[in-house]
Amino acid sequence: MRDLFLFSTIFQYFCKKKLNMKKITLFTLLGFGFLMASAQLDTTIYRHGNRITIQENEDGYTLFIDKEGVDCSEDLSELTEIIDKYIEDLFENDSILSDKKKQIEGDNKTNQPFFRHYRNLQRKHYRAHLAAFSFGLSNWMSTEGDIGNTRDGLLKYNSFEFGWIPFTHTFRLSGREKSSAFLLAGAMGFRFHWFNADKNRYFYVINDRVRQIEEWSDIHYDKSYVATGYLTIPIVFEWQKPFKKTSFYIQAGVETGIKMYGYSFYKYRLNDPKRDVTYKIPLSAINPIACDARVSMGIGAVSIYFRYGLIPLFRDGRGDRVNPVALGVNLHF
């Protein structure tokens, strides 16, 4: 009613100013649109003799429960069910938590006592932290635990990877009445690796096996690495707890990768005649499927992750028996 009175007052003011009919019509339409939008924020229902008004706000909902003469009989679990039933845009992974309960006593128009209760119900939406851009250091670990230090796998420690996960979906496993959440999530994305050769060496295929060859003559390799790319499908469990205005979370699961490409690349410069020489050698010796164990922990939009390859990088007998490992940072969106 307050909005309607304000609108009518402003309308009368513009009429007195003798604005043309087009402007008055446009203002009228905008005004009624505003009133309709405001009216949609409140939902009133009647249940167990109570009049319940649901009012949406930025943080959640405010529920007003009115009943004449006696105390309100609705409890928090019933109010949560009411919101689930009558508010259509509620996310399936929300928690609805009671912030406070207050009671105001007064008189209505018939001078009979009534009780008005209201509760502020905070809405917290839970979504697993999988959608992200990631960047990290990546290397090879031998069965003895050596990193970047095998016969045909001497790698620099600046070998790296980056990834992008745009598609995710979250399922909530814990009850919605909890102040924390246990989630199951799946996703699909992409991951790319550059494993840089150390000691001025390059990777080459000899007798269908990936070998790391020492330099010959006075050649210096400007670039020498193995590159791989994967379509990734991570499946993780996540425990998440609200922390101030954000959340703290711990996540663990597996990440399956389907190889898109794998090759060896190296480049050097000849002095006589002066020219750059590059080679790109496809590596069919790399396993077509990767499967990694992954754990991560973070606050808000930033997390750190560790990943360990459960399947060797190369097929049996076609390269050193090494497993990829990585440590990096996720920036979630």
**Do 155 and 247 share a domain, yes or no?**
yes
What does the buried/exposed string (b/e) look like for 137-150 if buried means 16 or more CB atoms within 10 Å of the residue's CB?
ebbbbbeeeeebbb
**Do 77 and 156 share a domain, yes or no?**
no
**Do 61 and 7 share a domain, yes or no?**
yes
**Do 73 and 9 share a domain, yes or no?**
yes
Helices (H), the chain: 2-16, 21-39, 76-86
The domain boundary residue, chosen from 104, 125, 146: 125
N-to-C CA span, the chain: 41
Residues of the chain with pLDDT below 70 are: 1-41, 47-49, 57-61, 63, 66-123, 176-177, 217
**Do 110 and 138 share a domain, yes or no?**
no
- Do β-strands 221-243 and 181-196 pair in parallel, antiparallel, or remain unpaired? antiparallel
Q: Would you state the pLDDT for residue 146?
A: 94
Q: Is the Cβ–Cβ distance between 162 and 176 less than 8 Å? A: no
The domain boundary residue, chosen from 95, 125, 155: 125
Q: Would you state the pLDDT for residue 105?
A: 46
What total of structural domains would you count in the chain? 2
**Do 168 and 307 share a domain, yes or no?**
yes
Contacts of 189 (CB under 8 A, 6+ apart): 163, 164, 165, 166, 167, 231, 232, 234
The DSSP 8-state label assigned to residue 160 in this structure reads E
Contacts of 57 (CB under 8 A, 6+ apart): none
**Do 190 and 169 share a domain, yes or no?**
yes
Q: Which residues pair with 139 in a beta bridge?
A: 325
**How far is residue 289's CA from residue 41's CA, in Å, rounded to a whole number?**
51
Q: Give me the phi and psi of 13, to 5 degrees please.
A: -65, -45
**Do 168 and 286 share a domain, yes or no?**
yes
User: How big is the CA angle at 315 (ends 313 and 320), to the nearest 5 degrees?
Assistant: 65
The domain boundary residue, chosen from 125, 141, 173: 125
**Do 244 and 304 share a domain, yes or no?**
yes
**Do 145 and 207 share a domain, yes or no?**
yes
Q: Give me the phi and psi of 5, to 5 degrees please.
A: -65, -45
Tokens 């096996």 appear where?
209
**Do 97 and 236 share a domain, yes or no?**
no
**Do 207 and 313 share a domain, yes or no?**
yes
Q: How many Cβ atoms from other residues are within 10 Å of residue 33's Cβ?
A: 10
Q: Is the Cβ–Cβ distance between 266 and 294 less than 8 Å? A: no
State the DSSP H helix or E strand holding residue 327, giving kind and residue range, or none if neither: strand 322-332
Residue 90 structure tokens: 């509620």
CA-closest candidate to residue 292, choices 320, 256, 327, 263: 256
Task: Tell me which residue range forms the domain holding 25.
Answer: 2-125
Q: Would you state the pLDDT for residue 309?
A: 97
Q: Give me the phi and psi of 241, to 5 degrees please.
A: -135, 130
